[in-house]
């Protein structure tokens, strides 16, 4: 009904964190902090992977809801909001399906980050990474 | 069916990204978009399976056709978003060069 709203909300929060982190990293680089380019993927870049998955996925999911007539271009935008019974069902769906979607995407992202760090570390150990 | 089509699109996009030496076409974004949607639809499918049990695997023909059409539309929409993003970010400078040439004429 509107399960994608949970992932949209997470995407907004992660995007804000990503921008803050990016600013911190730029400041640290300007301040002369030791560059760890070859053995370390910046956290802001990893957060960008997560926002891309969340925003991209939510967008395509939102299209599916438009397709099924659950999202409309006029207020209140969600057809389930027209009567209290449907609204209650929608909120329940957001709390279950939506939260599970956001959690699984985040879990996959954590796995990706661990794998990416391991690959970069291994490449740095064998001298494959360019400085 | 929508999930299957999106997963196939995600795999193809990832293989294309992997085989290119430089991702100057922004294929990474396309991969993330398809994988993100695939994961979300997977969760949706699990919840639907819990509700419908075996009936989940034997959908009505009309529903299957509708879902296939939806899946293909989703892929088309994602490709359009990717192309628009590619033209706006213009990583190879093709659009900028073309506009510059047009202005010079």
Q: What is the pLDDT of residue A128?
A: 63
The token duo for A102 is: 């956001």
Which residues of chain A lie closer than 8 angstroms to B34, CB-CB? 56
Burial of B58 (0-12, 13-18, 19+ CB in 10 A): exposed
Q: Is B41 on the interface with A (CB under 8 A)?
A: yes
Burial of A10 from C-beta contacts in 10 A (0-12 / 13-18 / 19+): buried
Pick the closest to residue B32 from A37, A25, A47, A117 (CA basis): A47
Closest chain A residue by Cα to residue B80: A60
Angle subtended at Cα A116 by Cα A113 and Cα A118, rounded to the nearest 5 degrees: 110
Model pLDDT, residue B84: 95
More confident: B105 or A103? A103
- pLDDT for residue A33 is more than 80: no
pLDDT at A79: 87
* Average pLDDT of the residues of chain A: 87
Q: Mind listing the pLDDT tens digit for each residue in B25-45? A: 889 999 999 999 999 999 999
Number of folded domains that form chain B:
1
Closest CA to A58 of B9, B32, B72: B32
Q: How far apart are CA A101 and CA A107, in angstroms?
A: 10
For B50-57, what is the mean pLDDT? 88
Q: How many CB atoms are closer than 10 A to CB B26?
A: 15
Torsions phi, psi for A73 (to 5 deg)? -80, 10
The beta-carbon neighbor of A7 closest among B6, B40, B70 is B40
What's residue B3's pLDDT?
A: 93
**What pLDDT score was predicted for residue A38?**
57
Contact flag A56-B29 (C-beta cutoff 8 Å): yes
In the block, tokens 């599970």 appear at A100
Angle at B43 between CA B37 and CA B49, to 5 degrees: 130
The pair of three-digit structure tokens given for residue B82, joined into one six-digit string: 């990717």
pLDDT on residue A125? 78
Task: Tokens 């921008």: give the residue.
Answer: A19
Taking a contact as any Cβ pair under 8 Å apart, which residues of chain A between 55 and 94 contact chain B? Answer: 55-61, 63-64, 67
Provide the ipTM. 0.88
- Would you list the domain boundaries of chain A? 4-22+42-125
Domain that holds residue B22: 2-104
Look at residue B91 in the predicted model and tell me its pLDDT.
Answer: 85
């Amino acid at each position: 009904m509107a399960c994608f709203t949970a992932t949209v909300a997470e995407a907004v929060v992660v995007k804000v964190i990503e921008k803050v982190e990016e600013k911190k990293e730029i400041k640290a680089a300007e301040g002369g902090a030791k560059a760890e380019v070859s053995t370390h993927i910046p956290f802001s870049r990893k957060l960008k992977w997560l926002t891309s998955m969340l925003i991209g996925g939510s967008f395509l999911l939102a299209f599916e809801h438009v397709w099924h007539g659950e999202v409309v271009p006029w207020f209140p935008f969600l057809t389930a909001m027209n009567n209290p019974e449907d609204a209650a069902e929608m909120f329940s769906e957001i709390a279950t399906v939506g939260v599970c979607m956001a959690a699984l995407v985040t879990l996959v992202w954590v796995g990706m980050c661990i794998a990416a760090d391991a690959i970069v570390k291994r490449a740095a150990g064998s001298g494959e990474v360019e400085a | 069916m929508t999930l299957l089509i999106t997963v196939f699109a995600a795999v193809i996009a990832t293989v294309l990204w992997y085989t290119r030496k430089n991702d100057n076409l922004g294929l990474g974004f396309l991969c993330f978009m398809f994988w993100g949607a695939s994961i979300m639809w997977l969760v949706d499918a699990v919840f639907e399976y819990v509700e419908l049990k075996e009936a989940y695997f034997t959908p009505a023909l009309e529903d299957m056709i509708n879902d296939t059409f939806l899946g293909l539309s989703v892929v088309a929409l994602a490709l359009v978003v990717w192309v628009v993003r590619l033209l706006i970010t213009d990583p190879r400078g093709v659009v900028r060069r073309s506009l510059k040439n047009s202005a010079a004429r």
